[in-house]
Amino acid sequence: MKIFTFKESLKHLFCLPVIVAALGYFVDIYDLLLFGIVRVPSLTSMGIEPDSAGILIFNWQMFGLVLGGIIWGILGDKKGRLSVLFGSIIVYSFANIACGFLPQINFMDKTFAYAALRFIAGIGLAGELGAGITLVAESLPKELRAIGTSIVAGFGLLGAVAAYLTVEATKTWTLNPENSWTIAYFIGGGMGIALLLFRIGVVESGIFKEVERDKSIKKGSFFSLFTNKDRFIRYIKCIAIGLPTWFCIGIMATLANKFSGPLGIKEGLKPGLAIMWSFIGISAGDFLSGFISQWLKSRKKAIILMMAFTLVGVILLLFGNVKSAQTYYFYCVWLGIGTGYWAMFVTVGAEQFGTNIRSTAATTIPNMVRGMVIPMTLLFNYSISPLNNVLYAAALVGIIAFGLGFYCTFTISESHDKDLDFIE
């Protein structure tokens, strides 16, 4: 194992691929979480019921992420990581700008238009993280890989905080506060276009270039993840490891308003604020996860430790007699810190597979996890009636998510210090 001086480490960790990937993920998270933050005010201002229609639109966005993950993952292995970083940002930037014009769309049903645009945005947003993490993982020495990907995710996740603060600030920038959310969409699209120009000059990873030259190697085969038993099990386990993260984001934060009544929180809960506090915690957790992994010399131990911390927070939040909005938001930060193993989880996904399908795996895995929000929210909403309690419905979904997460983390192979110069 090579030892780097502090100066050498900084040179590697703040190279152009890391900076560009971090900025890209910042814009990606801003745009990804923006709908969750403006769901209630945007739909209410257009005369649309925010709960049922909001979940429908949110699920279409998440379905777009699943489909986009497959598209961009395959493209990343066939054409290169940079092609995805350029193509995906064009798609989601223009989709977000179009969302800002929704109040002026009168020629079709607004719910359908909103869902269609969020679906297109989801397709674009799917490519950013996997391609960025793959590029960084292949560009950095293996001794610094975990810290580098943690920097990308830790900084990038602050995009959710920026989205919330932007939404709040825009209320004072316009003469029509009801439609101030449209400005936040315009800003998100504008940041994406600006970042597109900044990416000129980034070079492709050397590991991919070596594989690209060999025409005999089959690249970017999504179905190859399912045709080999060992490879399929690795893929499913990688997805399951991430389930607790989006249980916390998709249910405990995005649907926070559903918990105010059952918990007896009289002042109510704002989903946008819950999302912001969650991502402040996630950002801090992501920065920590890389150093914890390096300290423990294990990806698995770091993830298990943080997942256990998250589980304790979920139990206390649901059944610890939370009676105020401030306490709920405190636990959102707690859950965020715990689910900060997101960067480590995506890194594990990249490290488990060979260079010829690494982008396909690393891009589809986090988006499959995001897509699992659809069955999780459906199960949550379906379980509320028979269980007659929102808290028990959330607990049921949580038991499944954490059960699968712990089992798959314990049983997957360790990838700390793994050499990535191999093919499937």
Tens digit of each residue's pLDDT (9 = 90 or more) over 333-374:
999 999 999 888 888 988 899 888 888 888 899 889 988 988
Closest CA to 276 of 34, 21, 56: 34
- Indicate whether 406 belongs to any domain: yes
Q: With contact defined as beta carbons under 8 Å apart, do 163 and 184 qualify? A: yes
Domain presence at residue 3? no
Selection from 301, 407, 405, 287 nearest residue 337 by Cα: 287
Cα dihedral 97, 174, 276, 98 in deg (nearest 10): -10
- Euclidean distance between CA atoms 397 and 379, whole angstroms: 7
Tokens of 316: 């206390």
3-state helix, strand, coil in the chain (%, to 5): 80, 0, 20
Instruction: Give the chain's length.
Output: 424
Q: Running along the chain, 424 residues long, what does each successive block of 10 average in pLDDT?
A: 76 84 90 88 89 86 90 84 82 94 89 95 88 81 84 87 89 76 94 83 59 63 87 95 95 92 91 89 90 89 97 96 94 96 87 86 88 90 83 95 97 85 74
Is 80 a member of any domain? Answer: yes
Within a 10 A sphere around the Cβ of 149, how many other Cβ atoms?
32
User: Which residue is listed with tokens 């649901």?
Assistant: 318
Q: Alpha carbon of 138 to those of 132, 219, 274: distances in Å?
A: 10, 16, 35
Q: Residue 229 has which token pair?
A: 């038993």
Tell me if 423 is assigned to some domain.
Answer: no
Q: HSE on the CB side for 168, CA within 13 Å?
A: 10
In a domain, 18, yes or no: yes
Please report the pLDDT score of residue 113 as a whole number.
Answer: 95
CATH number at residue 150: 1.20.1250.20
Provide the residue range defining the domain that includes 262.
11-209+225-411
Number of domains comprising the chain: 1
> For residue 97, is it within any domain?
yes
Rounded (5°) CA angle 371-287-208: 65
Residue 185 to residue 163: CA distance in whole angstroms? 9
Q: What is the dihedral of CA 390, 395, 396, 399, to 10 degrees?
A: 170
Tell me the three state secondary structure of residue 48. Answer: coil
Q: What is the pLDDT of residue 306?
A: 97
Residue 219 lies in a domain: no
Q: What is the pTM of this model?
A: 0.80
Q: Is residue 418 part of a domain?
A: no
